[in-house]
Amino acid sequence: MEQTMTEIAFQIILYAGNGKSSAMEAIQEAKEGNFEAADKKIEEASEELGKAHKYQTELLQQEARGDGQGVNVILVHSQDHLMTSMTVRDLAIEIIEIYRNK
């Protein structure tokens, strides 16, 4: 059975939040010179964001099939959260490289 849009939105929020947290932890590890740990945290962030993206893709597929349920505030929030988290991860990668080359 397919999940409702709200259930999917909450999954996106969950995994995007996990990804953003891991990316921020990666920056802190790099700041302390722990680059192996920083790289591991970035990997964790990417895995979590991949899970969120999977749920986003499910919504897109539902919409493409004509099974879209409309837009609600929770869905908008989840999309905002995912895009922000992906940006944080991308910036964390760059910040880690700055620390690494310092």
Catalytic residues: 77
Of 71, 67, 88, 84, nearest in space to 13 by CA? 84
Contact between 26 and 92 under an 8 Å Cβ cutoff? The reply is yes
Closest CA to 86 of 39, 9, 29, 18: 18
